[in-house]
Amino acid sequence: MRSLVQITPSLPDSRSHQKARYANRTWLFDLDNTLHNASAHIFPHIGRSMRDYICRYLDLDENEATQLRQQYWKRYGATLLGLIRHYDIDPEHFLHHTHQFHDLASMVVIERGLKSMLKQLPGRKIIFSNAPLDYTQAILAITGIRHCFDAVYSVERLRFNPKPQTKGFLHLLRTEGLDPRACVMIEDTLPNLKTAKRLGMKTVWVNPGLRKPPYADIRVRSVLDLPGRLGQL
What residue ranges do the domains of the chain occupy?
15-38+109-232, 42-98
SS3 189: coil
Task: Check if the beta carbon of residue 119 is closer than 8 Å to that of residue 16.
Answer: no
pLDDT in tens, the chain (233 residues): 444 444 444 444 555 666 677 789 999 999 999 999 999 999 999 999 999 999 999 999 999 999 999 999 999 989 999 999 999 999 999 999 999 999 999 999 999 999 999 999 999 999 999 999 999 999 999 999 999 999 999 999 999 999 999 999 999 999 999 999 999 999 999 999 999 999 999 999 999 887 899 999 999 999 999 999 999 99
SS3 152: strand
| CATH number for the domain whose boundaries are 15-38+109-232 | 3.40.50.1000
* Fold equal for 15-38+109-232 and 42-98: no
| CATH number for the domain whose boundaries are 42-98 | 1.10.150.450
Residue 34: which residues within 8 A CB-CB, separation 6 or more?
186, 187, 188, 206, 223
pTM for the whole structure: 0.90
Residue 56: which residues within 8 A CB-CB, separation 6 or more?
none
